[in-house]
Structure 1
Amino acid sequence: MSAVRNAPPSIVSADMAVHGDILSAGEVQIDGAVKGNIRCAVLTVSKSGTVEGEITAEQVMIHGRVDGRITGRKVRLTATAHMDGDVINESITIEDGAHFSGNVSNAKTVAARDAQAGDVPAAAAAPAPVARLATRDQQG
């Protein structure tokens, strides 16, 4: 798995629009537009980037626009971020100047509440470790 960690990020360039889900075991950078869900280890949405959909990642850095829910261990909304949606996290940073409209919930609290209500097993509510996703080379 170390090859994935050393790999450069997969980039949706500023002149690209993706309609569909993105799944990666590594790092993804969005400079263009994505209408779909994103699941990866590390996600960066640049100032020019937009995402309409759900994001699940270990680390999320938002400089651009996101409309949808974010589930991540570490989430950072920078001063240029525009976020409309809920954030489920273990650690969040919202810089001065960032626009945020939604609710913030701690992943451990959500998992415990859902498990107590019998809705979802506790492990399912927390962000899943994406490092276990198979890359093309591992799929055989």
Structure 2
Amino acid sequence: MDFISIRLITVDVDRLAAFYASLAQTDAVRPTPDFAEIRTPRGTIAIAHARTVPFLTPAPNGSVIVEFLAADVDAVFRRLTGAAPAGGPDVVQEPTTMPWGNRSLLLRDPDGNLVNVFTPVTPAAIAKFA
């Protein structure tokens, strides 16, 4: 079995797709107005409108963090906050080196879900993602 994607359910596909496409610095693939994919070399974030899965209620998820591996998390932080208007990203934690060896930036996406952008910085963490 191979992990392929995670799907976020929202009432505003345009807004969420724009956030993740900007973060990943790629274009969103939009086969329909109710669905988008942000494809990266390691996996895909799928974004679907709530009407595609009517038994789910879109809400911020308090137990899942969407994670992105970045070459330089500090550069990502500067890019996201340096040129951002007053309504820029909701930064929960500025880049911080964690005990397990990753330098981590925590954000909230427009729906309130946590997003971790990280760069391995210790030899062990770098080896893990080599």
Structure 1 length normalisation: TM-score? 0.22
Q: Which has the higher contact order (CA 8 A, sep 6+)?
A: 2
Q: Which of the two has greater helix per residue?
A: 2
Query: If the length of structure 2 is used for normalisation, what is the TM-score?
Result: 0.23
More strand by share: 1
